[in-house]
Structure 1
Amino acid sequence: MTVSSMASGKPDFLRLSLYRAVWRWHFFAGLLVIPFMLNLAVTGSLYLFKDEIGNTIFAYRNVVQPRGGTLAPSLLTGNAMAAVPGSKALRYQSPGVKTQSARVTVGTPAGNVVVFVDPYSGAVLDKVGEQEEFNWVVRKIHSLEYFGLAFNRIVEAVGGLALVLVITGIYLWWPRKQTGGVISVRGTPDRRVFWRDLHAVTGAGAGALIFFLAISGMPWSGYWGDKLNTTLATNGLGYPAQLWDNVPLSKLQTKQVLGISGWTVENASVPVSQAAGTPVGLDQIVASANALGMAPGFEVSLPSCKGGVYTAAVFPGDTMQQRTIHFDQYSGKPLIDIKFSDYGTGAKAVELGISLHQGQYWGLANQLAMLATCLAIILASVSAVIMWWKRRPSGRLGVPPMPQQQSVFACLTLIILAFGIVFPLTGFAILAMLVLDQLITRIPSPLQRVFS
C-alpha cells in the first residue's frame, strides 16, 4: 500500500472505529436499560391520564353530582374518621371542580387510609389504603420506589443511561449515504433490516422528546435530584430561603406533611406555630386559603402536635398557580406564603419541565405528545430486542465488535465517564459495565464466547 493510499484510508479507518465504539456503548446501555425503559413508558402512559382514569374506572368514588352548597370541611373530615374507627385526620383535599369528591387522609396504626367523601351530602363513597390507591401505586412503580430505595436508585441510573442512548443512537442513525433507514423502513418484518430501520427511525424521530423526558424526570430522582434541589436553594435559584429567616422552624420537611409536595419546596422546613390557645380549626384555614386566592383542589395538612401548623398547598398543571402556605394553628395567621413567582430561575425551569413531563401544562395536547413519546420508547425497545435476536450468533450475546483503533474506544469511554460525573449513579453503572467488559475481553474464559 502506498503512503498516499494509507493517508486516504486513515479517515475511513478512524470513522469505522468510532462507529463501532459508539455502537458498542449504545448496545451496552440498551442492554441495561430496556426492561426499565419499558416500565417507565407503560406506567408513565397510565399516569398521564390519571384524571381520566379516576373519572371513569373510579368514578364511583371520584365523581359526584353537584347539588346546592358544599358542607364544612370539618364535617367531611369527621365523617371520614367515623368511617375508619380509631383514626386521626391527617390531610384534607378540597374538590378541584364541582363534580369532584373531597378526600380525607386519616392515620391508623395499620397505615394511612384515603377516604372519599361527597362534599354535598357528606356520604362516604369509598375508602382505600393510601399505598393501595391506584395513582399512588402507578407513581411508585414508575420510580421503582415501590420495591425499595435500591430500585429507586436504579431508575436514576437508567435516566442517565437513557441520555447516553439518545446521543449515541442519533450518531448511529445519522445518514451515511444509505438509501433507507433514515426516514423510511426497508424490508419486511421477517428481515433484520426492517427492525433495524424501525428502531432507528423511531428513535431518531422521538429522540428529542425521549431526551426531554429523561432529563426532566431526573430532578425527581433520589440522589441527583436532592443534590440539585439543595444546590439551587443554596445559590438563590430555588425557593426563597429568606422567607424562613424570621420564623421558628421544626425539624419536619414539607414533603413529610403533604401527600404530594412540589419539587421546589419539598425539602423546605415546616415552621412552628408561635401563638397559643385554642386552634382555629380546619374550616377557618380552608376559608383563609380560598380568600387568599389558592387554586381549587388544594390540600391542607393538619397539625400533628401543639407546635404544628396547618399547611395548605396546591400543585396544579398550571405551574404558575403553585402555592404553599403554612398557617399558625392558633391565630390562623399565614407564617410563610410562597408562590411560583417567588421561585428562583432554576426552580421555575425544573417545575415547568416536570409539568410538561407529566402532561399537565398544555392539557390534552401535552398528554398526547408525552403518550406518543412513551409509545415510541416501547416501539424502540421492542424493535431493539427483535433486531438483536435476529442478529446475534446462536448461543451468544452478539456484542458489537471492539473497534480496531482501541484508542478511539478509550477516548469515547472517557467522554461517557465525564458524563457520569454529572450523574454519579449513572457513572457508577457505566464504570461497572466497563470493568466487566474489560475483564471478559482480556481474561480467557467461556464468557468470552458468550459475549462475542
Structure 2
Amino acid sequence: MSDFTIGRDSASAAVHSPSDLYRAVWRWHFYAGLLVLPFLLSLAVTGALYLFKDEIDNVVHADLKRVAVSEQATRPPSAMVEAALAAYPGTAIKFTDPVDPGASAEITVNTADKGNIAVYVDPYGGKVLGSLPDRGTVMWTIRYLHSLKYFGSFARAMIEITAGWAILLVGTGIYLWWPRKQTGGVLSVRGTPRKRVFWRDTHAVLGLFVGGFIVFLAVTGMPWSGVWGAKVNEWANGSNFGYPAGVRIAVPMSGEHMEHVAKTTWSLEQAQVPQSSGDSEGAAPIGLDEAVATFDRLGLQRGYAVNIPTDAMGVYTGSVYPDDLSKQRVVHLDQFTGKPLIDMSYADYGPLGKALEWSVNVHMGQQYGLANQLVLLAACVAIVLLAVSAGVMWWKRRPAGSLGVPPMPSDKRVFRGLIAILVIGGIIFPLVGLSLVVMLVLDWIYVRTRRRRRVA
C-alpha cells in the first residue's frame, strides 16, 4: 500500500501517486467537506446551545418563567387563564402546567393583532408576569436556526443533504486516516501550529474520535429533513410498527393532526387527533379545571400541556415529553364526558416508533441527563475544531491561484466504482442523490475548464 497521505507538502507527489483509489476517495472527501463543513459548523454551534435549552431559557427569561415558591395553594387553571385573557384579550388555546414549584404557568392565547402569544402567570397569586410571541424564547430561536426553519423549505432540505454527505465525509475520512507506515498522525499530532502537518494530524485524529458521533447525529437528524424525514414520519404513523392511531380503543378520528393542536415530538406530528362523542349534544363541557384534574389523576408528569378545544368536536389533549422516555404520554379526553379517548405512552409504540423516539431524545441530549448533554457538547466542540482544522489545512496546502481540488485518479474505472457506491446512498436519500448529480456535473465542468487552460 502506498504511504501517500494528505499530509504531504508536495502537490507533485500526489499527482504521481500510484494509489488511484486513494486519489478518488481523497477527491470526494474534499467535495464532501466543501459542501458540508459550513453547515456542520452551524449545526454544531446551535446544537451545542440547544442541549441546554431549559437551563438557558430559565436564566434568560427568569422574569417570566421563574416564580417565588409559596406555601399557599396554586390558583385553579381556569383562574390563571382568566387572568391571562384579562391582560391579553383573545382565545385561550393551551394551558401548560408549571413543571416544578418554582415555575410559572404558561397560557397560549390567540390574539387578533399579535397572533399566538405565550402569557406567563404566577400560579400562586395569579399575577400576569408578561408575554412573548408563541415559541418566542431564545432557545426556540436557536432551534429554528438549527433546523434552518427560518429559511424556508428549500433551506431545510439541506438538512437531508448535509446528513448524507456527512456520512460520506466520515467514511472517506476513515479510509484516508488508515495507517500507511507513517510514524504519526494516527493517534498523535506532529509538528506545531505553524506547520501544515500539525493541522493535518489534528484533523485526522479528531475525525477518528468524533466520526461516530457525526454519523449518529446525521442519521438521527434525518427525521427533520424535508423529503426523507417527512415520508418516514407519514409512514410511521397509524401503523402497529410505529405509532398506532387508536392504541387502546377504537375511537372516531378527526382529520386534524397533532402538530396543529399541540407541541409534540417530530414523530407524532402526523398522528391523528380523535373527536369528542357525537351523542353529547346539549351536555355541558367538563371545563379546563376538570380536565386538568383528570390528567393529574391519570398521572401525567408535571409540566404537561393541555390543548383547549375550540369547537364542539374538539378534545382536551394532555401531552408531556420529558427527558425520561418512559414517562412520555399523550391523552385525549372527550370534552363533554371527560372520558379518555386515547391514552398513549412510549410503551404503546411499535418497534420503529420506539427506535425513532429514543434516537430523537438522545440527539437532543435528553435521554441520559447531564451525561448525555456533556458528551454531545464535547462532540459539538470537536466538530467545530474539525471544521477549523480542515479550513486551515486546505489553505496551507492549496497551490497559489487554485482551488486545490485533489487530483483525478489516472485509472477512471476506480473513480466510476466509487461513484457506483455513492449512487446507492443517493437512492436511499433522494436529495443526497440529487446533490451528488450536481457535484458530478460541477466536477466535470471543473476538469474540462482546467484542461482548456492548460491547452491555451
Q: Normalising to structure 2: TM-score of the pair?
A: 0.91
Matched, 1:71 2:72: no
Q: 1:424-435 alignment to 2 at 5 Å?
A: 424-435=430-441
Q: Which residue of 2 aligns with 1:3?
A: none
| Aligned with 2:290 (options 262, 274, 284) | 284
* 2:56–2:139 CA contact under 8 A, matched in 1: no
Q: Which residue of 2 aligns with 1:345?
A: 351
TM-superposed deviation, 1:166: 1.2
Q: Any idea what the Cα deviations from partners look like across 1:70-126, whole Å, max 9, x if unmatched?
A: 1111111121222213x2111111111111111111112332111111111111222
Q: Any idea what the Cα deviations from partners look like across 1:286-330, whole Å, max 9, x if unmatched?
A: 111111111111111111222111111011111111111111111
| Partner Cα distance (1:369, 1:359) in 2 | 9
When residues 263 and 374 of structure 1 are mapped into structure 2, their CA distance, relative to the original with a 3 A threshold, is: same
Amino acid at match of 2:310: S
Q: Which residue of 2 aligns with 1:223?
A: 227
Matched, 1:122 2:126: yes
TM-superposed deviation, 1:142: 0.4
| Partner Cα distance (1:137, 1:24) in 2 | 37
Give the 3-state SS of the residue equivalent to 2:68 in structure 1.
coil
Q: Which residue of 2 aligns with 1:9?
A: none
* 1:391–1:398 CA contact under 8 A, matched in 2: yes
| Partner Cα distance (2:397, 2:361) in 1 | 40
RMSD over aligned CA atoms reads 1.9
Q: Any idea what the Cα deviations from partners look like across 1:141-176, whole Å, max 9, x if unmatched?
A: 100011111111112211111111111111111111
| Aligned with 2:314 (options 285, 308, 311) | 308
Q: Which residue of 2 aligns with 1:365?
A: 371
Q: Which residue of 1 aligns with 2:13?
A: none
When residues 107 and 190 of structure 1 are mapped into structure 2, their CA distance, relative to the original with a 3 A threshold, is: same
Give the 3-state SS of the residue equivalent to 1:114 in structure 2.
strand
* 1:130–1:136 CA contact under 8 A, matched in 2: no
Q: Which residue of 2 aligns with 1:389?
A: 395
Q: Any idea what the Cα deviations from partners look like across 1:217-239, whole Å, max 9, x if unmatched?
A: 11122321121223334653111
Matched, 1:134 2:138: yes
Matched, 1:20 2:23: yes
Q: 1:254-269 alignment to 2 at 5 Å?
A: 254-258=258-262, 260-269=263-272
TM superposition outliers: structure 1 runs of 4+ over 4 Å: 443-446
| Partner Cα distance (1:196, 1:344) in 2 | 45
Matched, 1:49 2:52: yes
Q: Normalising to structure 1: TM-score of the pair?
A: 0.92
When residues 234 and 281 of structure 1 are mapped into structure 2, their CA distance, relative to the original with a 3 A threshold, is: closer
Amino acid at match of 1:210: I
Matched, 1:326 2:332: yes
| Partner Cα distance (1:242, 1:272) in 2 | 12
Q: Any idea what the Cα deviations from partners look like across 1:407-452, whole Å, max 9, x if unmatched?
A: 1111111111111111111111112111211133235687x78xxx
Give the 3-state SS of the residue equivalent to 1:264 in structure 2.
helix
When residues 406 and 208 of structure 1 are mapped into structure 2, their CA distance, relative to the original with a 3 A threshold, is: same
Give the 3-state SS of the residue equivalent to 1:56 in structure 2.
helix
When residues 444 and 187 of structure 1 are mapped into structure 2, their CA distance, relative to the original with a 3 A threshold, is: closer
* 1:238–1:264 CA contact under 8 A, matched in 2: no
Give the 3-state SS of the residue equivalent to 2:389 in structure 1.
helix
Deviates more, 1:339-348 or 1:261-270: 261-270
When residues 341 and 124 of structure 1 are mapped into structure 2, their CA distance, relative to the original with a 3 A threshold, is: same
Q: Which residue of 1 aligns with 2:275?
A: 272
Aligned residues: 434
Q: Any idea what the Cα deviations from partners look like across 1:255-307, whole Å, max 9, x if unmatched?
A: 1111x212332211111111332211111111111111111111111112221
When residues 27 and 239 of structure 1 are mapped into structure 2, their CA distance, relative to the original with a 3 A threshold, is: same
| Partner Cα distance (1:357, 1:444) in 2 | 43
Amino acid at match of 2:67: V
| Partner Cα distance (1:196, 1:399) in 2 | 16
| Aligned with 2:256 (options 226, 238, 252) | 252
Give the 3-state SS of the residue equivalent to 2:366 in structure 1.
coil
Query: Which ranges in structure 2 are unaligned for 5 or more consecutive residues?
Result: 1-15
Q: Which residue of 1 aligns with 2:34?
A: 31
* 1:318–1:360 CA contact under 8 A, matched in 2: yes
* 2:301–2:327 CA contact under 8 A, matched in 1: yes
| Partner Cα distance (1:329, 1:136) in 2 | 31
Query: Which ranges in structure 1 are unaligned for 5 or more consecutive residues?
Result: 1-12
| Partner Cα distance (1:223, 1:278) in 2 | 44
Give the 3-state SS of the residue equivalent to 2:95 in structure 1.
strand
When residues 444 and 366 of structure 1 are mapped into structure 2, their CA distance, relative to the original with a 3 A threshold, is: closer
| Aligned with 2:101 (options 98, 102, 105) | 98
Matched, 1:439 2:442: no
| Partner Cα distance (1:80, 1:396) in 2 | 62
TM-superposed deviation, 1:253: 0.5
Give the 3-state SS of the residue equivalent to 2:399 in structure 1.
coil
Amino acid at match of 1:20: R
Give the 3-state SS of the residue equivalent to 1:310 in structure 2.
strand
* 2:41–2:387 CA contact under 8 A, matched in 1: yes
Amino acid at match of 1:151: A
When residues 309 and 414 of structure 1 are mapped into structure 2, their CA distance, relative to the original with a 3 A threshold, is: same
Q: Which residue of 2 aligns with 1:408?
A: 414
In percent, how many aligned pairs have the same letter?
A: 50
| Partner Cα distance (2:414, 2:239) in 1 | 39
* 2:159–2:224 CA contact under 8 A, matched in 1: no
| Aligned with 1:202 (options 190, 203, 206) | 206
Give the 3-state SS of the residue equivalent to 2:93 in structure 1.
strand
